[in-house]
Amino acid sequence: MLENLTQQPPDKIIMLSGMFRADERPEKIDLGVGVYKDANGNTPIMRAVKKAEQLLWDAETTKSYTALIGDGGFHKVMADLVLGDTVAAERLSFAHAPGGTGAIRQILELIKVASPHATIWMSDPTWPNHPAMVKGVGIPMKTYAYLDDETRTVDFAGMMADLGQVNAGDVVILHGCCHNPTGANLNQTQWQQVADLLLERGAIPFVDIAYQGFGDGLVADAYGVRLLAQKFPELLISASCSKNFGIYRERCGLVIAVSKDAAGSALTQGMLSSLNRLNFSFPPDHGARLVTMVLNDPELRADWEAELEEVRNSMLGLRQKLADALRTETGSDRYGFIAEHRGMFSRLGLSEEQVAKLREDHAIYMIGDSRFNVAGLSDKVIPILAKAIVAVGG
């Protein structure tokens, strides 16, 4: 049986990580993997999370299962973090899943059961796992324009033109903030126009919000998803705690589904419970427990928010420093968009050949489409990167 399997293409990010580890050059620079790193190249445990772990160590009395959909306290604090008071609680249903990826997968499974003929639309470009998972679940998909290759800003006219072709019942994936891989984001006016168009077309928004707090702040980053929650009878959300709580390996994600009314919510909740049971039964609890403790404790929450702001401002500062360094090296402002983008990623607009030369000639590793991790920068790395970009013809 197993000999009938076909070789699967390697994940580009995982493959790049392997190449980086195998590179023996001491000056090598990793700008590929999407994890936050501090100035020393480490991914630290956040202060509030560490304190919560110590408290949990003392207080926890069992490792028994929680519910199929996870702990209700986690659902509540995350609904407040993502949606605020925009939706009545009786319209919400939840499913804790292994990471944001797991939440996306559960939502795709839900869509396939609820509306097997729906088409899923996603931005071009988008996070590579979006189309891979949609294909894996077997749902038809299309793309809408998103990035203007010349200005490196949102191609809003192209986006609206493509979304104007969406059919009633289709599902449109939108990045809640900090678009991955481009770093280019919708402004509030654009969010309003997208919402009105999708409402007119009868589409169902699916918001992937994986970086809340990394862009313009916790509330500002939730503007789009909260706007959609206010306007739409139905909304699907995948939320991740990997980045903003720094608990990557704990695999802490959440499905939040907004239904038309309480009856629809109960029906959706039953299906989400069933999907969890079929796919992995009970979700992991440790990360969700820590998030719940941090968000419910005023002192821990204040410390978490303060450290999250430190992280956000650090990335904004690195963006500005790189844009300034490239302005100096190129004598132009063609890389000024880096300072305007938000989140962990931007795409430089380099060719795959230029990216390969960065790797081969300068030991600088980034994804082939020139997506780089802002958090991989430092005051030491920035001038080296800027000179290398110019050296390869960027």
Name, in order, each residue with C-beta under 8 angstroms of 202's C-beta and a sequence gap of 6 or more. Answer: 167, 168, 169
Identify the H or E element spanning 98.
Answer: strand 92-98
Supply the pLDDT for residue 60: 92
Do residues 123 and 179 touch, judged by C-beta distance below 8 A? yes
Q: Catalytic residue numbers? A: 127, 208, 210, 243
Task: Tell me the domain boundaries of the chain.
Answer: 10-45+301-391, 65-296
Please state the separation of Cα 184 from the chain's center in Å.
Answer: 13
Structural class in CATH, domain 65-296: alpha beta
Supply the pLDDT for residue 164: 97
Helix pair 99-114, 262-279: axis angle to 10 deg: 120
Q: What is the DSSP string of 311-360?
A: HHHHHHHHHHHHHHHHHHHHSS-TTTHHHH--SSEEE----HHHHHHHHH
Comparing 10-45+301-391 with 65-296, is the CATH topology the same?
Answer: no
Q: Measured at the alpha carbon of residue 234, what is the angle toward residues 88 and 85, in degrees to the nearest 5? A: 25
Name, in order, each residue with C-beta under 8 angstroms of 215's C-beta and a sequence gap of 6 or more. Answer: 177, 178, 185, 221, 312, 342, 343
Supply the pLDDT for residue 35: 85
pLDDT per residue rounded down to tens, the chain (394 residues) = 999 999 888 777 888 888 988 988 999 999 987 888 887 778 899 999 999 999 999 999 999 999 999 999 999 999 999 999 999 999 999 999 999 999 999 999 999 999 999 999 999 999 999 999 999 999 999 999 999 998 999 999 999 999 999 999 999 999 999 999 999 999 999 999 999 999 999 999 999 999 999 999 999 999 999 999 999 999 999 999 999 999 999 999 999 999 999 999 999 999 999 999 999 999 999 999 999 999 999 999 999 999 999 999 999 999 999 999 999 999 999 999 999 999 999 999 999 999 999 999 999 999 999 999 999 899 999 999 999 999 998 8
Does domain 10-45+301-391 fall under CATH 1.10.760.10? My reply is no
Dist CA 290 CA 285 (whole Å): 9
